[in-house]
Structure 1
Amino acid sequence: MFRRPVIEFATRNVVTASEKDKVLNAMKTMVNLDIRRLPIVRGDKLIGIITMLDILDAIYSWISDKNTEGSLYSDIYMKSVIEIGTRSVISARPETPLGEVIALFLRHNFGSMPIVDETGRLVGIFTEWDVLKVASQLDFPHRVRDVMTRIVYVLTPYSTVMDVLEGITIYKFRRYPIVDETGKVIAMLHAKDVLRYFASDEVIEKIKQGAVEDIVSNYAINIAKSPIFVAKPNDPVIDVVKRMLEYDVGGVPVVNEEGTAVIGMVTEKTLMLLFEGSAE
């Protein structure tokens, strides 16, 4: 499998943004199609990429800047995607072996890789989610404890949207178990829930009115829309992978046997550890 061309495992009908598209339009597209990134094109040539995290980082930076004189709407939402996104994008060719691309993901902590032909034309994109699909086809003997991270950013029912933005930007966490006073997981918040919140018509209207403080002081649990399921350290990894695909989530909290404490997380990135040594 690892010798086969990456294009066989990639998404070919790629949704893109034009370099002149506004960030607001990109947000709406990501939310409506449940995707996390948009390659930026000029014509059919790849010139950059904008991700969900680029947008949330920009929002957090604007809110955190005490010297900002403009408005969040004009300074971020109405900017062109190329101003917020990344211009230097590492890409693969359609014939690049799958194993080589996964090895690059592991080495450089990539979350996606656009695929271009010899003329620079965008012909596909390979993402962490595609790696998850590959993993679901293999027979891994590992248990959750072998791939989980033990560093977890846990929220309470009183954590705010601003707390989440800080966690995303500063600590680079994209998924947040929300626990009650006993330590039980009562909700799951993913970064895509936060993007959906900031892209909603109600929030956009408040932003236009300058009520940014009201928006970020909202409790995070109020915007947590992701499905909940948890794993335990001894669960087979392949079962968790298949449930992640079924539930359309990129991260799962790992709890102790009693279910009273979150002790780790399994994410798309941690699951790539399964490929170490075999993808080259």
Structure 2
Amino acid sequence: MTVRVSDVMTRNVVAVQESTPIEVARRTLLSRGFFALPVRDHRGRLVGIVTEADLLPPEPGDGRTVGDVMTTDVISVPRHLAASVASHRMVTYGFRALPVVEGYDTDLLVGIVTRRDLLGEPEWARRRGPTYRVWKWLRRPAPVSPLRGPSRRTTAQDVMTWVVAAHEDWSVERAAKELTGHGFTALPVVDDDDRVIGIVTEWHLLPDPLTGRRAHTVGGVMKRDVITARPDEPVSDVVRSMAVHELRAVPVVDGTGRLAGIVTRRDLLC
């Protein structure tokens, strides 16, 4: 049985319009735990997509709208496409989410499919029963509550959050479960002394786009050349580093290289 995009996608998609203020889009991302929002017109047709990166850095009184920052050259997938093909496109182009449209000849937005939806889908999930619905609920993104009051967040330690650390001998299934279960963007990989030796993301855990196979352990897929930040590093430097290297998360380490936390794009949106 072929699993289609429509079998794993989110149907009640949250979308914005070109006229939506940037601050509204930012609050929507944070409150819902999303990392991208499709943009549709008044007829429900896909016209663009806006991501966390488009909304950084947050600026007080920013009067721009989603139409000013969104990407209009959007790659979408039809709902009847095989989920394996959607996974291939995500790996090939480095996407975290793909808007889903009704068919090849229409831009009518009907859903969105993410890497999280495609990670390690078990055989029983294909039966679409009550257990499947529980599985989908557990894999929902974790919402982030925006900080209240005056912001004094000037260094990495002011914005970093707690994160599970993985080990090289972890199975990719375990790493995928931790990522999807907690809504993490990435997992730092540490040695027995809690020193950061790598990082693994959703992208690393998706099956190979050509063979459909993937490595068995985190050590076989993780990125070993890791860019990190110091706890006292200015947030502006972290933002710049993430932009230059196109990163979604930066581990924070102390003077001995031990993991202290992680800074993600979502942390910087608050």
TM-score, L = length of structure 1: 0.61
* Residue 269 in structure 1 maps to residue 259 in structure 2: no
Alignment root-mean-square deviation, CA = 2.8
Distance change (3 Å), C-alpha of 1:200 and 1:41: closer
Q: What SS is found at the alignment partner of 2:101? A: strand
* Structure of higher RCO (CA pairs closer than 8 Å, 6+ residues apart): 1
Aligned counterparts of 1:4 and 1:174: Cα–Cα separation in 2:
27
Q: Percent identity?
A: 26
Distance 1:40 1:106 in 2: 25
Task: Confirm or deny: 8 A CA contact 2:187 2:199 kept in the other structure.
Answer: yes
Residue aligning to 1:222: 220
- Deviation, 1:258, is 2.3
Q: How far apart are residue 13 of structure 1 and its match?
A: 0.7
Counterpart among 50, 54, 63 of residue 113 in structure 2: 50
CA deviations over 1:16-75 (Å, ceiling 9, x no partner): 01111111111111111111111111211111111111111xx24x16xxxx4xxx9xx4
8 Å CA contact 2:91, 2:203 repeated in 1: yes
Flag as ranges the 4+ runs of structure 1 deviating above 4 A: 105-108
Q: Which has the higher helix share?
A: 1
Deviation at 1:224, TM superposition (A): 1.1
Tell me, yes or no, if the aligned pair for 1:188 and 1:226 is still in contact at 8 Å. Answer: yes
Structure 1: how far apart are the matches of 2:224 and 2:64? 34
Counterpart pick for 2:97 among 30, 34, 37: 37
1:11 aligns with 2:71: yes
Shift of 1:106: 6.3
Aligned residue identity for 1:50: V
The whole-number CA distance in structure 2 between the counterparts of 1:251 and 1:242 is 12
Contact 1:106 1:272 in 2 (8 A): no
1:141: Cα distance to partner?
7.0
Contiguous gaps of at least 5 residues in structure 1 = 77-83, 87-104, 109-139, 207-214, 274-280
Judged with a 3 Å threshold, the aligned counterparts in structure 2 of structure 1 residues 141 and 170 are, in CA distance, closer, same or farther, namely closer
Q: Structure 1 CA distance, aligned partners of 2:144 and 2:193?
A: 36
Task: Give the total of aligned pairs.
Answer: 190
- Give CA deviations for 1:103-141 in whole Å, capped at 9, x if unaligned: xx9669xxxxxxxxxxxxxxxxxxxxxxxxxxxxxxx97
Q: Which residue in the other structure is 2:183 paired with? A: 172
Q: Which residue of 2 aligns with 1:242?
A: 240
TM-score with structure 2 setting the length: 0.63
Paired residue type of 2:112: I
- Equivalent residue letter for 1:24: S
Aligned partner of 1:201 in structure 2 is 210
Closer, same or farther in 2 for the Cα pair 1:265/1:229, shift >3 Å?
same
